[in-house]
């Protein structure tokens, strides 16, 4: 299929979705069978106040794109058996690498007494902290979507879960690895050198077919949510090593190492306080073992806005002990301070703003997210990021002029 035809089909699908009148389509065939079709289509507009500084980037101030994500759910046996299918597609106006599609979820779930099993492509999230999801290791980051690392690719897996009074255990077999996505030469929000994903290097001779394993224990004890995990397999976080492409241009080549990672995550809910901790210890043959952690709290002033809305204050500290040979990170010795506003209204209006500050270099990264519903079918979302005092030694130096604001208009169906 040509790119022109693919774009035409994508736009046709989006327009058809916009013309739909219902929030979702669901059918209850009988007491045991249920089908639902829902999802959303969205239009994104990014505004860059500063000119692009990297070679190959268009000198753009506006970047638009369309997103389509239908969601299909089929249940039978009273909900004990379920098939879920959630594809995703984006069409970007500038960056061909950002125009992509993915199967976020396509899996079969069976629930039994005290156990369940998921087979297929799924998304699994671990973690409790706000500014960095340190222990979240199952799914690969879809880095062309945003720079916050929260968008994930679907992961093929078998997930066996056991639920007992003494806690829950999940055992994962991950038979296929997903490479991280990166912005192309025309895209913004990228480093000074383009990442050449066609030259990806694997420590395993089986490359993306290496079978990874993970095990997780979780339990709620009073006010405490506890989690402990172990992962063995291909790192989702590649090392980027300088090399050349077929034309002799200098590029970055992703290297995917085999790692062993142990982690814990803890959250304590004590009245208005949420105390949070995520910590990992990682071993690899190609770089020194290291430990990393994120710890902090969120304090909520319930009913502080017109006796209904809530205000939350967040503070988190980041430590990362990896050396220069390990995958790079900006969270080596940083502080995050933020605030969350939740109006608890019928439009689900919310706001989250924060700043990540490096005390040694004074490098500062600001972020803001706000969203509200316009109706049963429409919502609007605003995101913004800004950088200050980004020196040459900082990981964000190549993106120092990529301050931007993004507006998203979403139509649900």
pLDDT in tens, 141-178: 999 999 999 999 999 999 999 999 999 999 999 999 99
Best mean pLDDT range from 5-9, 185-189, 360-364? 360-364
Among the residue ranges 16-25, 81-90, 113-122, 295-304, the one predicted with the least confidence is 16-25
Where does residue 307 fall: left (phi above 0), alpha (psi -120 to 50 degrees), or beta otherwise? left
Whether residue 315 contacts residue 336, with contact meaning beta carbons closer than 8 Å, is answered with: yes
- The more confidently predicted of residues 30 and 258 is 258
pLDDT range class, residue 73, cuts 50, 70, 90: very high
Report the pLDDT averaged over residues 96-120: 97
Q: Give per-residue pLDDT as tens, 341-352.
A: 999 999 999 999
Q: Is the pLDDT of residue 283 over 50?
A: yes
Residues 6+ apart with CB under 8 A from 221: none
List the one residue out of 265, 270, 264, 260 whose CA is nearest residue 234: 260
Q: Is the pLDDT of residue 11 over 50?
A: yes
Among the residue ranges 16-25, 205-214, 216-225, the one predicted with the least confidence is 16-25
**C-alpha angle 313-319-320 in degrees, rounded to nearest 5:** 140
Q: Is the pLDDT of residue 103 over 90?
A: yes
pLDDT at 18: 53
Report the pLDDT averaged over residues 365-391: 97
Q: Is the pLDDT of residue 4 over 70?
A: no
Residues 6+ apart with CB under 8 A from 306: none
CA–CA separation, 316 and 292 (whole Å): 13
pLDDT range class, residue 78, cuts 50, 70, 90: very high
Whether residue 262 contacts residue 232, with contact meaning beta carbons closer than 8 Å, is answered with: no
CA–CA separation, 101 and 4 (whole Å): 15
Pairing of strands 201-202, 250-256: parallel
Whether residue 267 contacts residue 289, with contact meaning beta carbons closer than 8 Å, is answered with: no
Pairing of strands 212-221, 224-234: antiparallel
Q: With pLDDT > 70 as the criterion, what percentage of the chain qualifies?
A: 92
> 21 φ, ψ to 5°?
-100, -15
Q: Which two tokens stand for residue 28?
A: 């209850």
pLDDT at 319: 97
Question: How close are the terminal C-alpha atoms of the chain, in Å?
Answer: 28
Q: Which two tokens stand for residue 260?
A: 């062993």
- Residue tagged 């829902």 (tokens): 38
CA–CA separation, 75 and 83 (whole Å): 7
Q: What is the DSSP string of 264-293?
A: EEEEEEETTEEEEEEEEEEEESSS--EEEE
Task: State the average pLDDT for the chain.
Answer: 93
Q: Which two tokens stand for residue 128?
A: 């409790």
Whether residue 240 contacts residue 328, with contact meaning beta carbons closer than 8 Å, is answered with: yes
Q: Is the pLDDT of residue 404 over 90?
A: yes
**C-alpha angle 79-84-86 in degrees, rounded to nearest 5:** 150
Give the count of beta carbons closer than 10 Å to the beta carbon of residue 410.
19
Q: Is the pLDDT of residue 9 over 70?
A: no
pLDDT at 26: 65
């Amino acid at each position: 299929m040509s790119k022109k035809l693919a774009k035409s089909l994508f736009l046709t699908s989006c327009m058809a979705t916009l013309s739909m009148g219902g929030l979702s389509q669901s059918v209850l065939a009988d007491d045991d069978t249920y089908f639902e079709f829902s999802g959303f289509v969205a239009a994104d507009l990014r505004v860059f106040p500063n000119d692009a500084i990297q070679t190959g980037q268009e000198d753009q101030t506006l970047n638009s794109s369309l997103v389509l994500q239908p969601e299909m759910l089929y249940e039978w046996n009273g909900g004990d058996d379920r098939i879920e299918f959630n594809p995703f597609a984006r069409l970007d106006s500038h960056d061909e690498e950002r125009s992509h599609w993915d199967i976020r979820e396509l899996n079969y779930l069976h629930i039994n007494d005290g156990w369940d099993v998921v087979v297929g492509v799924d998304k699994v999230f671990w973690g409790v902290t706000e500014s960095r999801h340190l222990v979240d290791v199952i799914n690969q980051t879809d880095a062309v979507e945003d720079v916050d690392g929260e968008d994930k690719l679907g992961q093929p897996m078998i997930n066996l879960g056991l639920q007992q009074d003494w806690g829950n255990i999940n055992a994962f077999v991950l038979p296929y690895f997903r490479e991280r996505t990166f912005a192309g030469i025309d895209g913004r929000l990228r480093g000074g050198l383009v990442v050449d994903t066609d030259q990806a290097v694997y420590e395993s001779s089986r490359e993306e077919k290496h079978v990874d394993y993970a095990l997780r224990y979780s339990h709620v004890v009073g006010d405490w949510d506890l989690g402990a995990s172990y992962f063995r397999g291909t790192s989702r976080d590649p090392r980027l090593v300088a090399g050349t492409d077929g034309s002799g241009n200098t590029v970055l080549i992703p290297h995917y190492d085999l790692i062993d990672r142990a982690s814990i995550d803890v959250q304590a809910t004590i009245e208005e306080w949420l105390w949070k901790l995520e910590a990992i210890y990682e071993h690899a043959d190609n770089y020194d073992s290291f430990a990393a952690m994120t710890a902090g709290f969120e304090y909520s002033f319930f009913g502080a806005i017109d006796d209904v809305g809530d205000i939350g204050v967040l503070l988190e500290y980041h430590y990362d002990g990896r050396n220069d040979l390990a995958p790079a990170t900006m969270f080596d010795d940083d502080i995050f301070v933020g605030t969350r506003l939740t109006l608890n209204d019928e439009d689900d209006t919310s706001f989250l703003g924060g700043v990540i500050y490096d005390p040694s270099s004074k490098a500062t990264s600001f972020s803001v997210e706000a969203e509200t519903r316009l109706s049963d079918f429409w919502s609007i979302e605003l995101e913004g990021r800004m950088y200050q005092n980004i020196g040459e030694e900082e990981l964000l130096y190549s993106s120092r002029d990529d301050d931007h604001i993004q507006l998203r208009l979403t139509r649900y169906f």
